[in-house]
Amino acid sequence: MSEEIETLDLGEKIVNVIKTIYDPEIPVDIYELGLIYDVLVNEDNDVKILMTLTSPNCPVAESLPVEVEEKVKSLDEINDVEVEITFDPPWTQDLMSDEAKLEVGML
């Protein structure tokens, strides 16, 4: 049971770190934008993050995944981080949280 709680705490820490990363064109963090599809943590505390970008031509296509990897890897509990970019399903504004939609004036 305690291992489950630790994994949950770690997942929360990872999400909190991801929420410090902002899309340069939209004043909303990438988690609330819906760019993070999945965060997986294994028993060795290796993390795999499946994410997308607002478009394949996104100006930060090179730097954003690296920033996610570096910031998550900076957590003491994390062993290794792999960030995978996917465009399936493609990102749409429907993936944004209500908070993000409110921030950009869509609500």
pLDDT digit string, tens, across residues 51-68 = 999 888 888 889 999 999
State the Cα–Cα distance between residues 26 and 38, nearest whole angstrom: 21
Total domain count for the chain? Answer: 1
DSSP 3-state assignment of 99?
Answer: helix
**Domain for residue 60, yes or no?**
yes
pTM flag (> 0.85): yes
CATH number of the domain bearing residue 69:
3.30.300.130
All residue ranges of the chain with pLDDT < 50 are 1
Structural domain harbouring 46: 2-93
Cβ neighbourhood burial of 92 (10 Å; 0-12, 13-18, 19+): exposed
